[in-house]
């Protein structure tokens, strides 16, 4: 039987197990029944089960049969589970931090304690943030080429919160949202929880296939498009100006809301104008300080057309009331005194350095990445199974992500996403070398 067909049987069973159609404890057909039902040789059926077993999805019990295992992935592998083992080398999540940043925080907290209005910080704040903070973020956005007024800016508890309030305020469960076939995993989780239907757009050479988006808009009632034009996570693309203009045109022709996620945009040197500039009347622009400053701050921001601001504010009220003002005070002070700009520049250099390490250690492998990004996408060969590689890496103390959390299409590619931003520079090469070794060991 051709290898591709054999892999399909493994993939289909794996998808049914992960998707919950085959629940833990289910007894699977005998090897002989599986062979018969799929028209495959008995030896091939045995191999299908042994692959599923090595992926950690089933267990064979002598004399009893093959059973679906509990699929809760070990800590560190699931997108929602941080690597809980402190010895785990984390190539799964990105929390880039530079060596001097803890001292910056110490200094900022001391200054806030001395000069801040402590009484005010103890109180509720306006939902969208205090006015001078909205002004500070608006000035920051103007530096990025977005002509926005302070009253169109809302401070939120991280970009993920910005995405969530956008969904709550402007979308309805059941709405069809066009997304990249590989997209930011947090948006996929949000769509699942809020019951949005994600319609995947295949990738072209350096961005989404816009003809596929046009076609989709003709056949379905698409409400919005979620995109990352500047430094796409996980593929690293930066859309050129003509592509952005076309995207804006399609959105206008079909009345689409554009959700522009710019979480990593600061890493791209001199990108074309954001969609929020090209189609300001229909774009909600969302970003934050997680990657440029620190993930623990939980400060992000949303810029939106005036008509949508009240609904967005109401959703902040419904979720957090306001973003904690101790944190917004620190973030905005760092905006105003140039610390954010300085950290952004240092992190651009840091990301370039990490990419160079990845390109050296993983040379010869088909990496997909922007030269200044904090992650790489690593498609695996025809014969290599991503789950097996991820599981084997975990056993070696390295956590990575497979394509699954990022994939919105039916067919999940066998690939890894490696986050380069979290490990210290002295251990990063070794962790990447382990990835390389394990992949090579799993290549037949």
Ligand X SMILES: Cc1ncc(COP(=O)(O)O)c(C=O)c1O
SS3 334: helix
Residue span binding ligand X (CB under 6 A) among the ranges 132-140, 214-222, 287-295, 435-443: 287-295
Q: Which is nearer to ligand X, 186 or 236 (CB)?
A: 186
Q: Cα–chain-centroid distance for residue 275?
A: 19
Q: Does 159 bind ligand X (CB under 6 A)?
A: yes
Q: Which one, 6 or 187, has the nearer CB to ligand X?
A: 187
DSSP 8-state class, residue 405: G
Q: Which of 233, 277, 401, 434 binds ligand X (CB under 6 A)?
A: 233
Stretch of 62-70, 152-160, 210-218, 334-342 lying at the interface with ligand X (CB under 6 A) = 152-160
Question: Binding residue for ligand X (CB under 6 A) from 76, 96, 129, 158?
Answer: 158
Residue 263 in contact with ligand X, rule: CB under 6 A? yes
Helix ranges (DSSP H) in 55-202: 101-115, 118-121, 131-143, 159-170, 185-194
Report which of 94, 1, 93 is spatially closest to residue 43, judged by C-alpha positions. Answer: 1
Tell me: does residue 261 bind ligand X (CB under 6 A). Answer: yes
104 contacts 421 by C-beta, under 8 angstroms: no
Q: How many CB atoms lie within 10 A of CB 358?
A: 24
184 binding ligand X? (CB under 6 A): yes
Q: Is residue 259 a contact point for ligand X (CB under 6 A)?
A: no
When binding is defined by CB under 6 A, the residue of 208, 300, 405, 421 that contacts ligand X is: 300
**φ, ψ dihedrals at 262, nearest 5°:** -120, 35
Q: Of 189 and 210, which CB lies nearer to ligand X in the complex structure?
A: 189
Q: Are 312 and 289 in contact (CB under 8 A)?
A: no
| Radius of gyration of the chain from its Cα atoms, rounded to whole angstroms | 23
Q: Which is nearer to ligand X, 66 or 339 (CB)?
A: 339
- Binding span for ligand X by CB under 6 A among 30-38, 104-112, 158-166, 354-362: 158-166
- Is 48 or 177 the residue whose CB approaches ligand X more closely? 177
**How far, in Å, CA of 16 to CA of 38, rounded?**
16
- Confirm or reject binding of residue 234 to ligand X (CB under 6 A): no
Contacts of 166 (CB under 8 A, 6+ apart): 259, 284, 286, 302, 304, 312
Residue with the shortest CB distance to ligand X: 158
Nearer to ligand X, 6 or 264 (CB): 264
Q: Name which of 263 and 393 has its Cβ closer to ligand X.
A: 263
Which 3 state secondary structure label does DSSP give 217?
A: helix
Size of site (CB under 6 A) for ligand X? 13
* Number of neighbours of residue 205 by Cβ within 10 angstroms: 6
Interface positions with ligand X (CB under 6 A): 158-160, 184, 186, 228, 233, 261, 263, 288, 290, 295, 300
């Amino acid at each position: 039987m051709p290898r591709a067909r054999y892999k399909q049987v493994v993939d289909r069973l794996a998808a049914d197990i992960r998707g919950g159609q085959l629940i833990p404890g289910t007894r699977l057909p005998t090897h002989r029944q599986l062979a018969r039902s799929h028209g495959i040789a008995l030896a091939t059926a045995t191999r299908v089960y042994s692959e599923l077993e090595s992926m950690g999805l089933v267990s064979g019990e002598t004399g009893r049969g093959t059973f679906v295992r509990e699929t809760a992935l070990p800590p560190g592998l699931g997108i929602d589970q941080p690597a809980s083992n402190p010895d785990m080398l984390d190539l799964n999540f990105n929390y880039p931090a530079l060596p001097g940043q803890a001292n910056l925080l110490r200094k900022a907290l001391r200054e806030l304690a001395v000069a801040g209005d402590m009484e005010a910080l103890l109180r509720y704040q306006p939902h969208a943030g205090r006015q001078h903070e909205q002004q500070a973020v608006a000035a920051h956005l103007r530096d990025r080429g977005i002509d926005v007024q302070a009253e169109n800016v809302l401070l939120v508890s991280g970009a993920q919160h910005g995405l969530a309030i956008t969904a709550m305020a402007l979308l309805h469960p059941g709405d069809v949202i066009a997304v990249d076939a590989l997209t930011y995993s947090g948006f996929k989780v949000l769509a699942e929880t809020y019951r949005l239907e994600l319609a995947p757009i295949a990738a072209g050479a350096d961005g989404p296939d816009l003809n596929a988006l046009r076609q989709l808009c003709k056949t379905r009632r698409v409400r919005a498009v979620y995109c990352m034009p500047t430094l796409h996570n996980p593929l690293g693309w930066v859309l050129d100006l003509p592509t952005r203009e076309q995207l804006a045109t399609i959105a206008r022709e079909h009345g689409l809301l554009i959700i522009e996620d710019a979480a990593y945009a600061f890493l791209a040197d001199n990108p074309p104008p954001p969609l929020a500039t090209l189609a300001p009347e229909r774009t909600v622009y969302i970003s934050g300080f997680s990657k440029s400053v620190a993930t623990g701050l939980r400060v992000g921001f949303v810029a939106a057309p005036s008509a949508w601001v009240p609904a967005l504010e109401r959703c902040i009220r419904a979720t957090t009331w306001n973003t904690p003002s101790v944190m917004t005070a620190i973030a905005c002070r760092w905006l105003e005194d140039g610390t954010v700009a300085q950290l952004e520049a240092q992190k651009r250099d840091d990301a370039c350095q990490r990419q160079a390490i990845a390109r050296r250690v993983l040379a010869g492998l088909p990496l997909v990445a922007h030269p200044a990004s904090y992650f790489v996408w690593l498609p695996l060969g025809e014969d290599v199974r991503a789950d097996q590689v991820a599981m084997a890496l975990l056993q070696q103390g390295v956590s990575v992500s497979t394509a699954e959390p990022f994939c919105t299409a039916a067919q999940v590619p066998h690939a890894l996403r490696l986050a380069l931003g979290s490990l210290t520079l002295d251990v990063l090469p070794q962790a990447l070398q382990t990835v390389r070794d394990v992949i090579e060991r799993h290549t037949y």
